[in-house]
């Protein structure tokens, strides 16, 4: 008999929720992670009394009540509402694109006046296409929102994020852009959103209570041993690495962070500020205290922590973040997926194992459906 029912490789959200649900069914699980901490990319570190999102901002949002009730059964979530700001050459714009944005950009105060400008610019894009379908991200964006919004709020940010010109990126990346003709800065349309009270580490701790875990443990360093220890493997790492890159390496984008502690209670007045001009090297600045401190609570903490995010091409030794879902990489992933589908004793789950960008609620929903 094997020592465990499941060996779970990776303690991020997929692995942790899977371990929780399996343990509820009486299954014996071992969770291993190559990092020095549990939680994957939602891990937080306390700095100056503030929970710092070490791998970028994570905001939980969903319209699925079952998912929302599930995560709140582990730890209560607060009322944080994601309302990012865009900074273009020192001028601020509300996101997502809504009447506040259009007022800031054109001085229009009514939906009809805003739509007149948007329609005129969209028609200019249609004329340029001359009956053709959009062939790249730039053409698609111009068709959706027009030149002003594209030039100021999309182009520079997107090119920094992907490390490629918008004319070189596929159109499907930006098939939809929300345009709201109301004064509403709530970024998400979902019914529920928030941050775990006390930070994401409390969520992971709650999910993994009673489950054996090991950190600083690399599955690939003693692979033969790990493969013998459990009836099934739940693998949440890179699928191409699992198959020893037999078809070649998949590409990723990654993020580098510059963390700063400031001797003030409030640095930028918002959790997320995007810098959309190409000349600013970072994509955004995150001020972490705003995820969990509201109103007078902000001033009670005399210091604040910010992170500048720099998007770059992934190289071995870096943390892979975002799959590059262009035609070349999608074709390569399909080859790995065929191998994965033939596995009887391995479950592949999460953004790296499925080479797909997931929001957190999608991951939780996927695991709940599995069980």
180 is catalytic: yes
The CA distances from residue 188 to 88, 185, 225, in Å, are: 22, 9, 44
CB 155 within 8 A of CB 136: no
Q: Which of 80, 152, 180, 351 is catalytic?
A: 180
Domain presence at residue 41: yes
Instruction: Please say if 284 is a catalytic residue.
Output: yes
Q: Is 343 a catalytic residue?
A: no
3-class DSSP state of 113 = helix
**Catalytic one of 176, 279, 327, 342:** 176
Q: Is residue 77 domain-shared with residue 218, that is, in the same domain? A: yes
Q: How confident is the model at residue 204 (pLDDT cuts 50, 70, 90)?
A: very high
CATH number of domain containing 233:
3.40.50.720
Mark whether 19 and 50 lie in a shared domain: yes
Active site residue 176: yes
Q: Look up the pTM and report it.
A: 0.93
- Does 184 participate in catalysis according to the annotation? no
d(CA 218, CA 241): 12
Q: Are residues 46 and 162 in the same domain?
A: no
List, for residues 213-243, the tens digit of each pLDDT value: 999 999 999 999 999 999 999 999 999 999 9
State how far the Cα of 139 lies from the Cα of 95, in Å rounded to an integer: 21
Calculate Rg over the CA atoms of the chain.
22
pLDDT at 279 (0 to 100)? 96
Mean pLDDT of 324-342: 93
Residues 63 and 107 in one domain: no
Catalytic residue among 139, 309, 354, 365: 309
Tell me how many domains the chain contains. 2
In a domain, 313, yes or no: no
Boundary of a domain, candidates 126, 145, 174: 174
- The residue among 105, 139, 174 that closes a domain is 174
Residue 61 counted as domain residue: yes
Answer yes or no: do 151 and 45 share one domain. no
| Under 8 Å between Cβ of 144 and 122 | yes
Query: Which of 162, 165, 156 lies closest to 322 in space, CA to CA?
Result: 162
Residue 141, domain extent = 96-174
Same domain (yes/no): 75, 141? no
152 is catalytic: no
Any domain includes 306: no
Per the domain annotation, does 53 fall within a domain?
Answer: yes
User: What's the whole-number mean pLDDT along residues 242-246?
Assistant: 97
Both 218 and 75 in one domain: the answer is yes
Show which of 149, 174, 199 is a domain's final residue: 174
How does DSSP assign 214-245, residue by residue?
ESS--GGGGHHHHHTSEEEEEE-S-HHHHTTT
Shared domain for 106 and 168, answered yes or no, is yes
Q: What is the pLDDT of residue 11?
A: 98
- Among the listed residues 4, 80, 275, 284, the single catalytic one is 284
Within this chain, do residues 115 and 149 fall inside the same structural domain, yes or no?
A: yes
């Amino acid at each position: 008999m094997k020592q465990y029912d499941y060996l779970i490789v990776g303690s991020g959200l997929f692995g942790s929720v899977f371990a929780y649900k399996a343990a509820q069914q009486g299954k014996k699980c071992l969770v291993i992670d190559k990092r020095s901490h549990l939680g994957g990319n939602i891990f937080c570190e306390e700095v100056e009394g503030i929970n710092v999102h070490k791998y970028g901002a994570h905001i939980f949002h969903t319209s699925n009540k079952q998912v929302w009730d599930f995560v709140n059964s582990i730890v209560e979530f607060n009322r944080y509402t994601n309302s990012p700001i865009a900074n273009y050459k020192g001028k601020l714009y509300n996101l997502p694109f809504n009447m506040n944005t259009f007022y800031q950009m054109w001085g229009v105060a009514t939906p009809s006046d805003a739509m007149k400008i948007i329609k005129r610019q969209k028609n200019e894009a249609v004329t340029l296409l001359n009956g053709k379908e959009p062939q790249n991200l730039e053409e698609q964006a111009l068709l959706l929102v027009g030149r002003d919004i594209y030039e100021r709020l999309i182009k520079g940010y997107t090119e920094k994020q992907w490390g490629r010109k918008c004319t070189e990126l596929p159109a499907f990346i930006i098939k939809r852009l929300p345009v709201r003709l109301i004064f509403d800065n709530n970024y998400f349309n979902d019914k529920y959103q928030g941050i775990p009270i006390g930070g994401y580490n409390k969520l992971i701790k709650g999910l993994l209570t009673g489950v054996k875990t090991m950190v600083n443990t690399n599955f690939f360093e003693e692979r033969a041993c790990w493969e013998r220890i459990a009836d099934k493997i739940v693998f949440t790492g890179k699928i191409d690495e699992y198959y020893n890159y037999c078809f070649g390496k998949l590409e990723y984008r990654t993020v580098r962070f510059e963390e700063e502690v400031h001797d003030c209670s409030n640095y930028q007045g918002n959790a997320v500020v995007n810098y959309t001009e190409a000349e600013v090297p970072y994509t955004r600045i995150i001020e972490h205290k705003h995820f969990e401190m509201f109103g007078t609570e902000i001033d009670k903490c005399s210091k604040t922590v910010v992170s500048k995010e720099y998007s770059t091409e992934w190289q071995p030794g870096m943390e892979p973040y975002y799959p590059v879902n262009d035609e070349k990489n999608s074709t390569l992933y399909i080859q790995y997926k065929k191998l994965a589908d033939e596995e009887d004793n391995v479950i592949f789950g999460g953004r790296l194992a499925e080479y797909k960008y997931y929001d957190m609620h999608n991951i939780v929903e996927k695991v709940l459906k599995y069980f």
